[in-house]
Structure 1
Amino acid sequence: MKYSFKIFSIFGIPVELHISFLVLMLLIYIIALFNLIPSVNILTAVLITLIFATVVIHELSHSYIAKRYGIKIQRIVLLPIGGISEMEEIPKEPAKELRIALAGPVSNLIIAVITFAILIIFGTFLSAILSGALYYFTVVNLLLGLFNLLPAFPMDGGRILRAFLAERMDFIKATKLAATIGKQFAIIMAVIGVFFNFLLILVAIFVYLGAEGEYRSVVVSTLLGDEKVKDIMTSDVHTLNPDNSVQETLKIMFREKHMGYPITEDGKLIGIITFHDVSKIPENNRDMLIKEIMSTEMIISDPNENLVETIGKLNRNNIGRLPVIENGELVGIISKTDITKILDKKEPKLD
């Protein structure tokens, strides 16, 4: 995740702060130190800090169980709306996912029980301020644990729901149903947030986008896991000559309705030209040759490349197509449209 930096490691897992989280904490302490909001004092700021410490414990609980199953944890990132454990993969065995998902909320509920026990046993010996802080800390952990058990995928409760569904149906169908329920919960949360708490709206946006994003990720990794570029690439590739003019290229693009073309010379790929490149050229200068403006720093694919890896290249570089090269020669081209078509054919429908 961009704009985050490491603060420490535990169990070999880097824990990072997102810059937005740091800004939030600084703002809270500034408000507390200068008494800008009467209800926010130093004790409040410390309690908020401790709550985020429990968020780290929550995410570490997920990560610890996942590591026991051999799943690599890339990092834990703290955001203003909570924490995220970035796992290399999500287990498709329902029992494993169930245990990993439960670990986080259970850790919050255990903390709530411990702090409540301290409050009951030692409450008479504690000051009113410390008793109040412990009570607040107990309630917040209880609410965090219960809130995360809501069946709003991809929250913990949503993952528990998927694990339950995956025991009874295909994994992709289970994910789609859990994601659909998660998005419905997100809409409800957003509506409630409008009237009660703006933070709930942010959580709702995170849940909605996360549900759709994770569903698409599962579809891609599951359905395209064994597919190669050569299985769906277009082999009959229309290429352009480096001595074509910008005007000629625009006419070809409008006629054939393609937004980009490989440029070859003596059978070798030497560049790529897109509509974005040629449309920037003023009309009075469109006799310019495309070799003068083509991109020579090319991202390419291989016929035997896995489609999941190809999608990663397309998304990371925000491009729509890749030339396919074998033994130094252009043998095809693959686009996001090609991949979308095969996904639409393979994707199971909910009954």
Structure 2
Amino acid sequence: MKYSFKIFSIFGIPVELHISFLVLIVLIYIIALLNVVSYVTLLTAVLITLIFVSVVLHELAHCYVAKRYGIGIERIVLLPIGGISEMEEIPKDPKKELRIALAGPVSNLLIGGICYLILILSLAYISKTIQAAIYYFVFVNILLGFFNLLPAFPMDGGRILRAFLAERMNFIDATKLAANIGKQLAIIMALVGIFFNFLLILVAVYVYLGAQAEYQTVLLSTLLENEKVKDVMTTTVHTVKPSNTVKETLKIMFKEKHMGYPVTDDGHLIGIVTFHDLSKIPEAEKDTLINDIMTKDLVVSDPEESLMETLEKLNRNRIGRVPIVWENRLVGIVSKTDITTVLDMKQNLLEKKKK
């Protein structure tokens, strides 16, 4: 995720802080220290920090169980709205998904229970202010635990529901049904929010979009899981040389109607040049060599890579095509259109099987 930086690692999992989260925390502490808002005290700021620690523990609980099942965790990213665990894959075994999903809410309920027990045992020794803060911390953790059990993506309850359904139907249908249930719940929340609390409408939007995104992700990963880049890549690739000038390359582009070209030297990929790059060069400098303006920081794939991984690269880097390199040589190219064509074909076959 852009604009996030690593703060520490635990269980070999990088924990990153999004810049928006950092800004929020710093702002809260400034407000508390300068007493800008009377009810935002230093104790309030510390309490909010501890709540986000609970969020980290919630995500770590998911990750710990996932790693025990051999599922890799890329990182945990902390955002103002909570934490995100980026797993390398979605577990298709319902029992595994159930345990991974339950781990987060259970951790919050345990934190709340332990803190409540500590509070009861220390009532005679702490001030009313500290008691109130601990009560609030307990309440928030229990609320987080039960809120995450709502049967809707992207909450853990949506994954628990899918795990239950996946015991009775295929994984895609289970995801679709769980997502639809989540959407219906989101609509009900939005309607209730109109009359009672505007915040519920925002939560409803988050739940609705999360449900749709989860279904699309599962559909893509399932349909593309056995497809390799080598099966769909175009092996006849038009390239330009680093010694070509801007003027020569523009002529090639207008003739062949391609908006970008790999730059190769004796078959080795050394850069990419696009029409956007060329259009920035003034008319008086059209004899500039491609070597001087091409992009050298390349995003590439290899023939054995899965199409899902390649699609994620395209989306993450906001590019339309990616060169395919094997043993340091350019062997093909894959565009987002190539992948969507495969998806359409697979989806049509899937729908025909259901009929």
Mapping for residues 18-167 of structure 1, pairs under 5 Å: 18-119=18-119, 123=123, 127-167=127-167
Q: Offset at 1:148? A: 0.8
Aligned partner of 2:255: which letter?
I
Counterpart contact for 1:272–1:295, Cα < 8 Å: yes
Aligned partner of 1:61: which letter?
A
Mapping for residues 225-304 of structure 1, pairs under 5 Å: 225-235=225-235, 237=237, 242=244, 245=248, 248-249=251-252, 251-252=254-255, 256=257, 258-262=258-262, 272-280=272-280, 291=290, 295=294, 297=296, 299-304=299-304
Deviates more, 1:127-136 or 1:144-153: 127-136
Unaligned 5+ segments in structure 2 are: none
Q: What secondary structure sits across from 1:154 in the alignment? A: coil
Between the aligned partners of 1:56 and 1:178, the Cα distance in structure 2 is 26
Deviates more, 1:77-86 or 1:261-270: 261-270
Q: What secondary structure sits across from 1:314 in the alignment? A: helix
Deviates more, 1:154-163 or 1:309-318: 309-318
Q: What secondary structure sits across from 1:139 in the alignment? A: helix
Between the aligned partners of 2:227 and 2:45, the Cα distance in structure 1 is 52
Between the aligned partners of 2:8 and 2:325, the Cα distance in structure 1 is 43
Counterpart contact for 1:245–1:290, Cα < 8 Å: no
Between the aligned partners of 1:130 and 1:268, the Cα distance in structure 2 is 66
Q: Taking structure 1 as reference, are residues 27 and 170 closer, same or farther at Cα in structure 2, changes over 3 Å only?
A: same
Q: What secondary structure sits across from 2:16 in the alignment? A: strand
Between the aligned partners of 2:271 and 2:110, the Cα distance in structure 1 is 60
Q: Offset at 1:14? A: 3.7
Q: Offset at 1:160? A: 0.9
Q: Offset at 1:209? A: 5.0
Counterpart contact for 2:153–2:182, Cα < 8 Å: yes
Between the aligned partners of 1:168 and 1:246, the Cα distance in structure 2 is 58
Between the aligned partners of 2:263 and 2:15, the Cα distance in structure 1 is 45
Question: Which residue does 2:221 correspond to in 1?
Answer: 221
Q: What secondary structure sits across from 2:149 in the alignment? A: coil
Q: Offset at 1:214? A: 4.1
Q: What secondary structure sits across from 1:96 in the alignment? A: helix
Q: Offset at 1:321? A: 1.7
Between the aligned partners of 2:46 and 2:266, the Cα distance in structure 1 is 69
Q: Offset at 1:157? A: 1.0
Between the aligned partners of 1:58 and 1:87, the Cα distance in structure 2 is 15
Q: Offset at 1:339? A: 0.4
Q: Offset at 1:343? A: 1.3
Q: Taking structure 1 as reference, are residues 74 and 289 closer, same or farther at Cα in structure 2, changes over 3 Å only?
A: closer
Question: Which residue does 1:310 correspond to in 2?
Answer: 310
Between the aligned partners of 1:197 and 1:279, the Cα distance in structure 2 is 48
Counterpart contact for 2:149–2:158, Cα < 8 Å: yes
Q: Taking structure 1 as reference, are residues 209 and 99 closer, same or farther at Cα in structure 2, changes over 3 Å only?
A: same
Q: Offset at 1:136? A: 1.8
Between the aligned partners of 1:270 and 1:114, the Cα distance in structure 2 is 58
Q: Offset at 1:94? A: 0.6
The answer to whether structure 1 residue 169 and structure 2 residue 169 are counterparts is yes
Query: What is the total number of aligned residue pairs between the two structures?
Result: 346
Counterpart contact for 2:189–2:200, Cα < 8 Å: no
Between the aligned partners of 2:69 and 2:28, the Cα distance in structure 1 is 38
Q: Taking structure 1 as reference, are residues 190 and 45 closer, same or farther at Cα in structure 2, changes over 3 Å only?
A: farther
Once superposed, what is the RMSD of the aligned Cα atoms?
3.8
Deviates more, 1:266-275 or 1:167-176: 266-275
Question: Which residue does 2:197 correspond to in 1?
Answer: 196
Between the aligned partners of 1:80 and 1:50, the Cα distance in structure 2 is 13
Q: Taking structure 1 as reference, are residues 205 and 278 closer, same or farther at Cα in structure 2, changes over 3 Å only?
A: farther
Q: TM-score, normalised by structure 1?
A: 0.79
Q: Taking structure 1 as reference, are residues 266 and 182 closer, same or farther at Cα in structure 2, changes over 3 Å only?
A: same
Unaligned 5+ segments in structure 1 are: none
Q: What secondary structure sits across from 2:154 in the alignment? A: coil
Q: What secondary structure sits across from 1:89 in the alignment? A: coil
Q: TM-score, normalised by structure 2?
A: 0.78
Counterpart contact for 2:149–2:157, Cα < 8 Å: yes
Q: Taking structure 1 as reference, are residues 296 and 83 closer, same or farther at Cα in structure 2, changes over 3 Å only?
A: closer
Q: Offset at 1:341? A: 1.1
